Structure 1
Amino acid sequence: MKHVLFLAASLVFCMYASLAFSDTKVWLIGGGNTLANSQGQIEENVKWLQDILNEKGIENYTYYTNGDDSADDVVYFANPKERDPIHETLLRVFASGLDYAKKTKRNSIGKVDGSTEKATLVASLEAQFALVKPDDKVLIVYNGHGDIEPRDTRKNTLKLWGDTHLTVSELDQLLDKIHPQATVNFVLTQCFSGSFANLIYDNPYSDVRGEQQRCGFLAESDRREAEGCDLGTNEADFRDYTTYFFAALAGKTRLGETIPAAQIDLDRSGDVSLSEAHFYALASADSGDLSRSTSEFILEKEQPWYTRWDSRFTPNNSTYSTIAASVAKRENIAHSGQALAREFYRRLQTERALEHTLKQHADLIKSLQEKLRNQVATTKEAVASLNIEQQKLLAEQLQQLPDYTQLTAEQNHHQDLNANLLEAHRDTAQAEKVLRLNHIARLELHQSRETSGDLQAVSHCEADIAFP
Structure 2
Amino acid sequence: MKALTLAALCITPLYAHVALAADNAFLFGGGPNPENSQFSIESNVIWFDDVLKNGNFDQVITQFGSNQNNANEISYAVSQSHYQTDLIDILFGSANDANIRFRPALIGSDNNRTTEKEPLLNTLNEQISQLNANDSLFLTYSGHGGRAEGGKNNFLYLWNNTELSVSDMAQAMAKAHSESTVRYVLPQCYSGGFNRLAFKNLNPKQGLSEGAAVCGFTAVADDQLSEGCTESVNTEDYRDYASYFYAALTGSNRNGTPVTQPVDINEDGVVSLNEAHTYAYRYGNSSDIPRSTSEDYLLAIEHWSERWASTINPAASNQYNQTAAILGFDFDSEPMTNAFYQESAKKLKAAQLKADAVYSELRSTFSTIRNKREALMPALLLNWPQLSNPKTEQYHQTLAQEKKNILQWLATQEEMIDLVQLEKRKLELIDNNINTMRELARYQRIHRMLKLSRLHERLKNTGGEKWDNYLALQTCESWVPPLK
If the length of structure 1 is used for normalisation, what is the TM-score?
0.87
The residue number in structure 2 matching 1:158 is 156
The residue number in structure 2 matching 1:146 is 145
User: CA contact under 8 A between 2:287 and 2:441: conserved in structure 1?
Assistant: yes
Deviation by residue 1:142-173 (Cα, 9 ceiling, x = unmatched): 111111124x3222111212222222111111
User: CA contact under 8 A between 1:31 and 1:64: conserved in structure 2?
Assistant: yes
Question: Aligned letter for 1:417?
Answer: L
Matches within 5 A, 1:243-392: 243-260=243-260, 263-310=262-309, 312-315=311-314, 317=316, 318-330=318-330, 336-377=340-381, 378=385, 381-387=388-394, 388-392=396-400
Deviation by residue 1:398-451 (Cα, 9 ceiling, x = unmatched): 433325565445324312211100110111111111010011111111111223
Question: Aligned letter for 2:478?
Answer: A
The residue number in structure 1 matching 2:166 is 168
- SS of the equivalent of 1:75 reads strand
User: CA contact under 8 A between 1:383 and 1:391: conserved in structure 2?
Assistant: no
What is the Cα deviation at residue 328 of structure 1?
0.7
User: CA contact under 8 A between 1:19 and 1:271: conserved in structure 2?
Assistant: no
For residues 295 and 353 of structure 1, the distance between their equivalents in structure 2, rounded to whole angstroms, comes to 34
Alignment CA distance shift 1:51-1:382 (3 Å):
same
What is the Cα deviation at residue 121 of structure 1?
1.2
The residue number in structure 1 matching 2:404 is 396
For residues 101 and 354 of structure 2, the distance between their equivalents in structure 1, rounded to whole angstroms, comes to 33
Match status 1:420 vs 2:432 = yes
Unaligned runs of 5+ in 2: 5-19
- SS of the equivalent of 2:226 reads coil
What is the Cα deviation at residue 309 of structure 1?
3.1
User: CA contact under 8 A between 1:92 and 1:100: conserved in structure 2?
Assistant: no
Alignment CA distance shift 1:175-1:132 (3 Å):
same
Match status 1:459 vs 2:474 = yes
User: CA contact under 8 A between 1:117 and 1:161: conserved in structure 2?
Assistant: yes
Question: Aligned letter for 1:359?
Answer: R
For residues 26 and 208 of structure 1, the distance between their equivalents in structure 2, rounded to whole angstroms, comes to 26
Alignment CA distance shift 1:425-1:123 (3 Å):
same
User: CA contact under 8 A between 1:311 and 1:439: conserved in structure 2?
Assistant: no
Q: Aligned match of 2:447 in 408, 424, 435?
A: 435
Structure with the larger RCO, 1 or 2 (CA within 8 Å, 6+ apart)? 1
For residues 334 and 341 of structure 1, the distance between their equivalents in structure 2, rounded to whole angstroms, comes to 14
Unaligned runs of 5+ in 1: 1-16
Q: Out of 100-109 and 421-430, give the one that drifted further.
A: 100-109
User: CA contact under 8 A between 2:215 and 2:293: conserved in structure 1?
Assistant: yes
For residues 126 and 341 of structure 1, the distance between their equivalents in structure 2, rounded to whole angstroms, comes to 46
Alignment CA distance shift 1:162-1:104 (3 Å):
same
- SS of the equivalent of 2:266 reads coil
User: CA contact under 8 A between 1:94 and 1:380: conserved in structure 2?
Assistant: no
- SS of the equivalent of 1:140 reads strand
> Highest Rg: 1 or 2?
2
Q: Out of 391-400 and 237-246, give the one that drifted further.
A: 391-400
- SS of the equivalent of 1:397 reads helix
User: CA contact under 8 A between 2:116 and 2:160: conserved in structure 1?
Assistant: yes
Question: Aligned letter for 1:224?
Answer: Q
For residues 45 and 332 of structure 2, the distance between their equivalents in structure 1, rounded to whole angstroms, comes to 34
What is the Cα deviation at residue 334 of structure 1?
7.8
Alignment CA distance shift 1:413-1:398 (3 Å):
farther
- SS of the equivalent of 1:447 reads helix
Aligned length: 447
Question: Aligned letter for 1:183?
Answer: T
Alignment CA distance shift 1:40-1:192 (3 Å):
same
Deviation by residue 1:377-408 (Cα, 9 ceiling, x = unmatched): 14764332235543323433343332556544
Question: Aligned letter for 1:460?
Answer: T
Question: Aligned letter for 1:386?
Answer: E
For residues 162 and 79 of structure 2, the distance between their equivalents in structure 1, rounded to whole angstroms, comes to 31
- SS of the equivalent of 1:155 reads coil
User: CA contact under 8 A between 2:386 and 2:398: conserved in structure 1?
Assistant: no
Q: Out of 351-360 and 130-139, give the one that drifted further.
A: 130-139
User: CA contact under 8 A between 2:312 and 2:457: conserved in structure 1?
Assistant: no
Alignment CA distance shift 1:371-1:333 (3 Å):
farther
Alignment CA distance shift 1:76-1:408 (3 Å):
farther
- SS of the equivalent of 1:222 reads coil
What is the Cα deviation at residue 464 of structure 1?
2.0
For residues 81 and 161 of structure 1, the distance between their equivalents in structure 2, rounded to whole angstroms, comes to 32
The residue number in structure 2 matching 1:65 is 65
For residues 393 and 332 of structure 1, the distance between their equivalents in structure 2, rounded to whole angstroms, comes to 65
Equivalent pairs: percent with the same residue? 27
Alignment CA distance shift 1:312-1:397 (3 Å):
farther
The residue number in structure 2 matching 1:128 is 127
User: CA contact under 8 A between 1:181 and 1:212: conserved in structure 2?
Assistant: yes
Q: Out of 326-335 and 166-175, give the one that drifted further.
A: 326-335
Match status 1:101 vs 2:105 = no
